[in-house]
Structure formats: structure tokens, C-alpha cells
Amino acid sequence: MQGLNILVSYNQNRISNQFAGLTTLFRLMPVTETYKLAQFFPRDANGKITQQQNVNFNILGSLYRSMTVEASYLLYTKLGSFEPRIVYVDNITSRLTGLDTNMVIDDIGTLFGPDRYRLNGSLTWTRGDVTANLFVYHIPSYVNDYLSTLNAGRIANPELITPVKSLTTVDFSANWAVNPAFSIQFSGRNIFKAAAPFTVVDTLPYDTARYDVRGRTLSLRAQLRF
């Protein structure tokens, strides 16, 4: 299997004694319990809350684990060389642990969390002075929990969570080195004009973190060296 290349990697990042603020505390604890904490909500002599203090504090931390599998194969033919490649990223864990081990938030497959997986593919063709590349990017479906409220690790209004469809886009690029001094490059992003899956984030009908609002873009450039 000359020309075959397989790479498997495992990544783990752990953050201990992580800094957090009042917003994180609301997500980890019931609101009624949070209001009892004097360092965040000091009270007067009558027991009434006088102010809200967004001070930093320490939580147990976060844990992130993922595995990446990448495979490619280089093939030489009379029509030129071909190299297909596929990259699969499996996000195994994305977990926030609060003041104790009972306070856990897992955000994989959510709006602000990592996708359950990512799948990218490419095909490179080279013949003489011409090189062309085709890229395919796939984002799996996930849930939009932007309008939901998380208290004590539980969703208070699950009816506001909406599913978001998957998205697949295709890019293309080509380069022709006419001679050592002159070359022509063509590139296209989202060449099939895939539309953004509809989902409301703030006031926008799409997720800016996962979709390029420019849509399909094409460019042609000539370069002369002298």
C-alpha cells in the first residue's frame, strides 16, 4: 500500500481551578441558592439584597477530549497524481465541572459548544505545472439553545431549544504556473452556494460561527514576477 498515510491522534486538555463568574454560577446552581451567597449578593440589616457583585471565583475546572483520524493516499497515473484525503475529528468530551462533581455541564452539539464531530475531505490533482484542489466540509446537526436558560445544570425551558440541520460546503482552487515568472490562480468558496441552515441567533437567521455569510465567492488572480 505504498502511498497510503494514516494518522491517529488523541488530545486531552484539562483546566483545574478555573476562573468563573456570576453567569457561570447561575448555570451551575439554582437561582434561589445563588441569591443566598453574600459575596455575590450582599444584604442590609433587614436581609434585603443591596447590590449584585460579579466577582470571580474558582470552580473545579473543564475537561476537553478529542480524537482525530486522518487518511490519505497518493496515486500516480498517466493523467497526473491524485491524492484523496479525509479528516475525521470526534469530540469526545467538553465538560465544565462547578464547585463539586455533581455540578457538571456538557455542551457538545450545542450552539456555543463544539460539534459532535467534524468531517473534511479533499482531493488534490497535479499534472505538470497545473494543480487543482477540491475541498468538502461537513458540519453535523446540532441544537440551538441560545434562548434557553440553564439553572443548576438543567434546562428550565427545553421547549425553546431548536434543532439545526447539518451543513456541507465545497471549495475549489486551481493554479497554473505558465512559466517561472507568470502564474494564474482561481479559487472558489462554497461553489455550490449551499444555504445556511435556518436558526435564530440574537437577531440573525443563521449561526455566524458555522456559516460564512459571504456565501459563494469566486476569484481569479494573475501574478507576474520580475
Q: Give me the pLDDT at residue 123, please.
A: 98
pLDDT digits (tens, 9 = 90+) for 175-217: 999 998 999 999 999 999 999 999 999 889 999 999 999 999 9
pLDDT beyond 90 at 30: no
Could you tell me if 210 and 165 are in contact, meaning their C-beta atoms sit under 8 angstroms apart? no
Task: Compute the mean pLDDT over every residue in the chain, rounded to the nearest whole number.
Answer: 92
pLDDT digits (tens, 9 = 90+) for 64-117: 999 999 999 999 999 999 999 999 999 999 999 988 888 888 999 999 999 999
In this prediction, residue 28 has a pLDDT band, given cuts at 50, 70 and 90, of confident
Range from 71-80, 138-147, 152-161 carrying the lowest mean pLDDT: 152-161
pLDDT beyond 90 at 126: yes
**C-alpha to C-alpha distance for 66 and 76, rounded to whole angstroms:** 33
The predicted model gives 26-46 an average pLDDT of: 85
CA distances, 116 to each of 16, 102, 142, 161, 166 (Å): 24, 23, 8, 17, 11
